[in-house]
Chains A and B, each alone.
Chain A
Amino acid sequence: MLDVKKHSATILSLPFAFVIFTFFIVPLCLVVMVSFWDYNSYSIIPDFIFTNYQDIFYGCVKSLPDLCTSFATYISSLKFVFITWLITLLTGFLVALFLSFCVSSLQMQIVLFLLCTIPFWTSNVIRMISWIPLLGRNGLVNSTLQKVGLTDSPAEWLLYSEFSVILAFVHLYTLFMVVPIFNSMMRIDRSLIEAAHDAGASSFQTLTNIIIPLSRPGIIIGSIFVITIVMGDFITIGVMGGQQIPSVGKIINVEMTYLQFPAAAANAVILIITTLMIIFAMTKLVDIRKEL
């Protein structure tokens, strides 16, 4: 007879564990497994072959320095990751800094924090297309530019371009930086800052010597979020890039619509490995700086 009282924690965790197991762990293992399978135009065939991986990098080394499709796609994704990371980090840090050190009442802090959070609970697609009336050929920005006389013809690079993709990323995902950094900053003991002030530290010195090092956990968590989201994105790049800019997520998406599941799975495995490597490198980078 099972002792319910003794195993109560295990029993309580079971439904949650079941969902995570069935819809996260098993699917992830299947992706790795199927990436070694064979396929034809209507079915997938259990096998153990490396063709799917070879296909991804077919001719890539030989054609260097010209970039093959896969390399070009990854480099394009990495560029988006880096630029978005830099902008969201800076913006998120400043917003969190304002919320935690320039707003004095807790009530006001909560209200302003909610103000930053509410868009997160609304539709991403709507937030993307809401840039169209502003950035389009006849949009607000272009008509203003023309009225002021800065340009004669509408600027084409504003919408359906790399610029608009990055803008949308920053718009959608800065929150992922704000929340963890704000959380870290709120934990900073205020007396440390007073001590620094009493010891004659300038605002800038307080920032670099106390606030930034102590916000590090938040910065890392936020960075991991932004990097993984941008790396695997295919919707924002699709909608804001006018379906013209390649991305790894989009390759996987297209392969799936052609039912080439093993090929999509191989791409997914490489995507995960790349993402993990970036995260790993980044945490190392921050660690090393702390060691110095």
Chain B
Amino acid sequence: MFGRGFKLSLGIFFTLFILFLYGPTLSILVLSFQGPNGGLTFPMRGFSTFWFESLFDGVGVIDIWGAFGRSIRLGLVVMVLTVVLSLMAGMAFRKRFPLSSFLFYATVSSLIVPSIVISLGVALEFRIIDDAVKAIGGDMNIQWVIDDFRTTMGLFSSGLGAQLTWTLPFGLLIMFAVFNRFDPSYEEAARDLGAGPWQTFREAVLPIIAPSLIGVALFGFTLSYDELARSSQAIGGLNTLPLELRGLTTTVTDPTIYALGTLTTAVSFLAISIFLILFTLLRRRTAKAPRPETPAP
């Protein structure tokens, strides 16, 4: 439909856009192998793994490896919850249920309300809970509350919740896309053959939508692993890796930060590759699955 010249210029524009997307990250990747005397910018002064070694020795007072571990653990928990809850909600939205459109609009709003506001709200919520716990503990003379209670805020309470407000909407939107294209006759066939609701789900629905669930898992893990704005005020005392990284941008002035950048990007890429491979494998299996009419040998 478009002329040759127009298509060509769009192609060039697209190529430049991809360069723009990946170029800067590549420069960090290269510079993280800077020689020991090298600085934050080009040229490369030698080629070494010096900055990775210095990263393994630790960056100042910050416990990078602790933060890294917390990010991975939180990412995995967010991933599992995002997949399970989005799948359940996706199934629910195929029928009508009370307040379903309210829930849908609330979920979409959760995606577009500025992250700092959600972070503030969650922090407030837990602060009010803390105050309540302390007041009740004081009134009723509960000893451990008076002695040991600090806060209910933490990685797996407020931090987890704040991140779920970011990953769940993506999960639900993907499930909508999946079930809009889902052919219900598979379920009917399973029911006609005498399968109960659980068996229908496990043996007819789940295998068909499995690749999409991998997609939801990909969003759940990677978005949590790199999440910053929503967890910033709601994470409690111990930071995740992205939060530590943001702090480091102002304090670290040598390529150690690039080494850390290369490392965390490598983790992201590893995760993305695993999910994409799983997705392709499951897709292929679904496509290859024997048709019902194939006679048993």
Contacts and interface: CB of A to CB of B under 8 A. Distances in A.
Interface of A: 5, 7-13, 15-17, 19-28, 30-31, 34, 43-44, 91, 94-95, 97-99, 101-102, 112, 114-116, 118-119, 121-134, 136, 138-140, 143, 171, 174, 193-194, 197, 203, 206, 224-225, 228-229, 231-235, 238-239, 243, 249, 252-253, 256, 261, 264-265, 268, 271-272, 275
A174 B20 CA distance: 11
Contact of A123 (B1, B40, B242): B242
Contacts of A115: 18
A124 B272 contact: no
Contacts of B27: 130, 133-134, 140
Contacts of A171: 20-21, 24
A235 B114 contact: no
A30 B158 CA distance: 15
A174 B21 CA distance: 10
Interface residues of B, number: 94
A121 B268 contact: yes
Contacts, number: 270
A264 B153 CA distance: 19
B116 interface: yes
A116 B18 contact: yes
Contacts of A20: 103, 106-107, 110, 165, 168
Q: Is the interface of B mostly helix, strand, loop or mixed?
A: helix
Given A9-B95, A239-B249, A129 B41 contact: no
Contacts of B242: 123-125
Contact of A129 (B23, B249, B268): B249
Contacts of B128: 30
B13 A136 contact: no
A24 B22 contact: no
A16 B103 CA distance: 9
5 interchain residue pairs of minimum CB distance: A232-B114, A27-B121, A23-B161, A16-B89, A130-B24
Given A22-B161, A24-B165, A243-B250, A16 B24 contact: no
Nearest to A126: B261
A122 B117 contact: no
B65 interface: no
A127 to B, nearest CB: 6
Interface string B186-225: 0000000000010000000000000000000011001101
A17 B229 CA distance: 22
Contacts of B91: 9, 12
A248 B294 CA distance: 64
